[in-house]
Structure 1
Amino acid sequence: MAGKKNAWGRRTTIFFQTFKWKKLQLSDTLLEIKEDLKKKSKAKKAYSKLTKEEELLLQQIRIKTNERNVNNVTRTKAYLDFYRLYPEIHWAFLGHMVSRNGGWNMTDLRGDMLSRLLNEKIRRDFFGFLERGNWLIFQDAYPQFLIYEESMKRNQNMFYLLPFLNISIFMETIWENFWQYRDSYLLTIALIINEQSYLEKRIVQNPFYKDKVFQTLEFKLQDLLSFNHILFPYEGKMPGKSAFIGQTLHHFNSLNERILLGKRLYRLLFQDMNQLDKVKSWAISHPHTGSRKDYWPDIFNDINEGLPGARFTRRLKHCRLRQGAHRLYSPRLEYAWKNVDHQDAETGDWFHDWRVIDYLQEQEKNINGEITNDYCETLEKLELAALAKKTIFI
């Protein structure tokens, strides 16, 4: 047990050594959060006995969360539904858009190109990794939203119930601060920190995924696959063909990089209200299916137009179909993968060091979301690889 704690301490030290941006003086709000976190981490909180009403509320929250945590499509829809009710919770929409990308990555594993590059075992392992991460984040984040909803209905701070749902003391402090100051930016960045830190031990440092996924795929295919592109579609100038903004992630196994990416994605999505309205309008009018047909029906189809066993040929040129070519197969999630029965989430609070609040400091720099050219190049690389049937991946 001591060895595990020491290992975690070493990773924390490395994490803060790699966290290099100019440190700003903490604001009064962040100083207040710092002091509250230090107090919470020093002493074990004495929880009072729950009333029957509180026990019933927690049971209802668990039931509602499980009902919406069936698969990527149900989770993604739940995030958007919540955001439309409570638009001050910006992370709900950010989570919706990122979860859409997770679904597209899942169905890519059954699509035209990756099914030719990866064998069935690797595809199942990678799907398990994507699905487990998507499931874990939802079962941690969505109960927080339901506690907030209940607080709003009662006009009463109910965040003292968060620990009974295995939510980090970090988020208990942040929600209490949000209830008082209503700082949507701070809450969003805190949720980014929380969810990525929550995944760190459970996914990234999990020996199974390190062996079966990262060692097999992360380093070999990072620059080839589209898994590292996160796309935010909106209605483009061409009828029926969405445009998009986005970002690219490198080094998924770095907690620092994932948090910084989350901050960039949030800035990109919310820095321009006109752009945000376009993405929201697209999301509302295009229900998530998991198929990339959702945004480019002229290139992708959720029905396989090819003949069984037919030779794979090049179909794309500059993100357009070549003359006479049929569309790329991108199945709906419901046809690509069966629902998964997950084991309970691993227990334990990731929060150990108050210095993580340095991430909460706001950055003013606008983010350039141009990603179309990079994404088109990635699609053409995938197509060439599928055409060559590179056996080093199977």
Structure 2
Amino acid sequence: MVKTSWSQKKKMKKQSPSYTEIKEALKKKHKNKPSSFPEYKLTNGERKLITYIKETTQQWNVNNVTRTQAYFDFFLQHPEIHWALLGHMVSRNGGWYMTDLKGDLLTRLLSEKEQQHFFFFLERGNWLIFQDVYPQFLLYQHSLKTSSNLFYLLPFFDVSIFMETMWNYFWKYRDRYLLAIATVINEQSYLEKRVIQHPHFKKTVLNTIGFKLYDFLRFNHVIFPFHKNKTTDKPSITGDTLRHFSSLHERIMLGKRLYSLLFHQTTILQGVLHWANHHPHTGSRKDYWNHLFHDINDMLPGRHYQRRIKECQLKKGAPRIYSPPLQFAWKNIDHPEAEKGDWFDDWRIVDYLMEEEKFTGGDIYDHYCKTIEKIESTIIAKKAIFLKRE
């Protein structure tokens, strides 16, 4: 269980900054871009710290499994950084989508080339977010150790001036919600030009028939497994569905809803933490539902696909759905350097920081089960069409 110390509670009592105050600060930052501490003024200690953070980030930014674990480890050390847990759970979902591309279902709907394109699309986004956010976490960690605000060093990691502003406010006011939602805004905005609007990914993924099928099947749920009590083996699931993946607004609003779902309901937060602690991320969906998924392929070679799932239960005698661990599905990738440039060009994006009504949804079980059944129907229909053509 994550506990809040007396000193942390005392800090949390400080009044948060007004949105007007944040807007004015961001307007000023925007006019004076780029915000950067002169490199020649760096001390030897600051240079060593920058090198250490870059090297540490690179060591963990190997694949989806290592990144996902790094987020969780950081949250356990610093539970006040809420996004670390949110990022951990969303990153788990990213890994499951990566391995789905080599599992029982999507291999029957997507070509080998499409699988490769989709994987690199998911992997690139996962890699970019980590190399942007993890240096921020490490710099915060070192600020705590030295009891000094070191966020003036963020430009040396190409972090947006938006986050430099928000970290400074967090250091002063300790508003956990504000920092978490700011990080949601930052990471999704950071991906916008580098992935979502990137010509390569628009051509190879977002504008393809395969992606439109993927979107049509609603195979874009973000699920959080959690234990309702510590004696249950099979976890429950909660979550939400992303519609219109290419919309920055929709992705930010999804992040806000997921945050509310995770941190505004104590039973879910503690249930997620209990489950995550006992189930290290492998990339296989067996991690949460081993009654339905298996990391070994039990399907006989050459056998036609038949319906196996009804209301998230296997039919009698049916093999489980193959869901491989990431290490067996995909090799590690050497990524090209992240594109330079600060996404922050409109201070009005700060309006997303305004807290809205708490999200009371999360009932995703039926939707998720129907999605699997819909994919099975599509596989069978595709096979029938293929046989008719023969």
TM-score normalised by structure 1 residue count: 0.90
Structure 1: state its 5+ residue gaps: 1-26
State the partner residue of 1:13.
none
Give the alignment of 1:254-293 within 5 angstroms: 254-293=247-286
**Displacement, 1:225?**
4.8
- Which SS does the other structure have where 2:302 is aligned? coil
| Segments ≥4 residues shifted beyond 6 Å | none
User: Which AA in structure 1 matches 2:108?
Assistant: R
Deviates more, 1:234-243 or 1:302-311: 234-243
* Cα separation, 2, equivalents of 1:274 and 1:111: 32
- Give 2:31's match in structure 1, choosing from 35, 42, 49: 42
State the partner residue of 2:307.
314
**Displacement, 1:249?**
0.5
* Cα separation, 1, equivalents of 2:26 and 2:309: 53
Counterpart check, 1:354 vs 2:347: yes
Residue-by-residue CA offset, 1:347-373 (whole Å, 9 max, x unaligned): 000001111110000113332100000
Counterpart check, 1:324 vs 2:313: no
**Displacement, 1:46?**
5.5
**Displacement, 1:328?**
0.6
Residue-by-residue CA offset, 1:132-191 (whole Å, 9 max, x unaligned): 000000000000000000000111000000001100000000000000000000000000
On the 8 A contact 2:75/2:81 being kept in 1, the answer is yes
- Which SS does the other structure have where 1:126 is aligned? helix
- Which SS does the other structure have where 1:245 is aligned? strand
Counterpart check, 1:172 vs 2:164: yes
On the 8 A contact 2:264/2:358 being kept in 1, the answer is no
State the partner residue of 2:227.
235
Structure 2: state its 5+ residue gaps: 1-15
Give the alignment of 1:126-275 within 5 angstroms: 126-216=118-208, 217-226=210-219, 228-235=220-227, 239-275=232-268
On the 8 A contact 1:229/1:248 being kept in 2, the answer is yes
How high is the sequence identity, in percent, across the aligned residues?
58
* Cα separation, 2, equivalents of 1:257 and 1:46: 31
User: Which AA in structure 1 matches 2:199?
Assistant: P
Deviates more, 1:190-199 or 1:51-60: 51-60
- Give 1:109's match in structure 2, choosing from 101, 114, 118: 101
- Which SS does the other structure have where 1:246 is aligned? strand
**Displacement, 1:43?**
1.8
- Which SS does the other structure have where 1:222 is aligned? helix
How many residue pairs align between the two structures?
365
- Which SS does the other structure have where 1:298 is aligned? coil
TM-score normalised by structure 2 residue count: 0.91
On the 8 A contact 1:249/1:261 being kept in 2, the answer is yes
* Cα separation, 2, equivalents of 1:212 and 1:53: 44
- Which SS does the other structure have where 1:232 is aligned? strand
* Cα separation, 2, equivalents of 1:365 and 1:69: 33
* Cα separation, 2, equivalents of 1:325 and 1:220: 26
On the 8 A contact 2:228/2:267 being kept in 1, the answer is no
* Cα separation, 2, equivalents of 1:251 and 1:114: 20
Deviates more, 1:260-269 or 1:215-224: 215-224
* Cα separation, 2, equivalents of 1:206 and 1:373: 34
Structure 1 residues 60 and 46: alpha-carbon distance in aligned structure 2, compared to 1, 3 A threshold: closer
